[in-house]
Amino acid sequence: MTRASDMFDRFLNTFAAWALALLWILPLAYAVWTAIHPSAYEANFDLFAPLTTENFVKAWQAAPFHRYFLNTFILVTMILAGQFLLCTLAAFAFARFEFPGRNVLFALVLLQLLVMPDILMVENYQTMRLLNLVDTIPAIALPYIASGFGIFLLRQTFMTIPKELDEAARIEGASVLGVLWKVYIPLAKPTYLAYGLVSVSHHWNNFLWPLIVTNSVETRPVTVGLSVFSAIDSGIEWSVINAATLMTSGPLLIAFLLFQRQFVQSFMRAGIK
């Protein structure tokens, strides 16, 4: 009896997992299908429909994507490097130092999580103009570098690291930054990986702020290039738009497939779900 119900339970689990996975992959499968077939097959499923790469060629030519890819790459690298540096130092200070006003300051950092970045758009634009940075890649990156989420996440991780390790390192003669570099950062690696993934994918996909603060091809990211295809006045060419979408999200998809195991593990350890 128990065995039969166990089996039934397992069957249900497997079935549900498959059903959810299929639902999840369906839009992606549709994107791949339409991207590699001529537009006549957008809504007709025919297993032997002729294959074509023409959609990708068309999409690639619709905007200077090679430049946009370079810009996006510079942008996400710049943001990630800045975030790691700032958030590590801030989180370390909040986690391991006693100083007056610590809790108030930390509450202020947490407050940032409650504010939608879109509300600050005008204010950020004014700041970028004061710094004379409008229409540059740093202008897209700067508002995101002091990330409240990153500080919070790293602080929580640093707090879980046993104080004994810290003290042992100090007895060995390590400086404050030495302890951070040799003890805390290596132990928080899964958190860095998880946070890095969230940050990179978020900024890879960010659209409105980059569009507003930049004006030229030399500074704009791929998402702005992708928006050329949203032509509401003239009907949508699904095959080309899907080809372009696959193209622009391709690097992220490939990276995810390559590092899938590390990502999943680091998410479990870092507790972001």
Pick the closer one to other proteins by CB: 128 or 247.
128
Of 111-130, binders to other proteins (CB under 8 A) are 121-122, 125-126, 128-129
Residue in 26, 81, 208, 268 binding other proteins, rule: CB under 8 A: 208
**Distance (Å, rounded) from C-alpha 185 to C-alpha 188?**
5
Binding of other proteins at residue 236 (CB under 8 A)? yes
Taking CB under 8 A as the criterion, the residue among 211, 252, 255, 272 binding other proteins is: 211
Nearer to other proteins, 5 or 216 (CB): 216
Residue 212 within binding range of other proteins, rule CB under 8 A: yes
Distance in angstroms (rounded) separating the CA atoms of residues 66 and 218: 11
Task: Work out whether 77 is an interface residue with other proteins (CB under 8 A).
Answer: no
> Phi-psi region for residue 21, left (φ > 0), alpha (ψ -120 to 50) or beta?
alpha
What one-letter code names the amino acid at 192?
A: Y
Question: Does residue 73 interact with other proteins by CB under 8 A?
Answer: no
CB of 229: closest distance to other proteins in angstroms?
A: 7
Is residue 188 helix, strand or coil?
coil
Question: Binding to other proteins by residue 98, rule CB under 8 A?
Answer: no
In order of 5, 140, 171, 208, the CA distances from 76 in angstroms are: 50, 10, 39, 16
User: For residues 58 and 259, what is the distance between their CA atoms, to the nearest angstrom?
Assistant: 31
Q: How many residues does the chain have?
A: 273
Residues that bind other proteins (CB under 8 A): 39, 42-44, 121-122, 125-126, 128-129, 134, 208, 211-212, 215-216, 224, 227-238
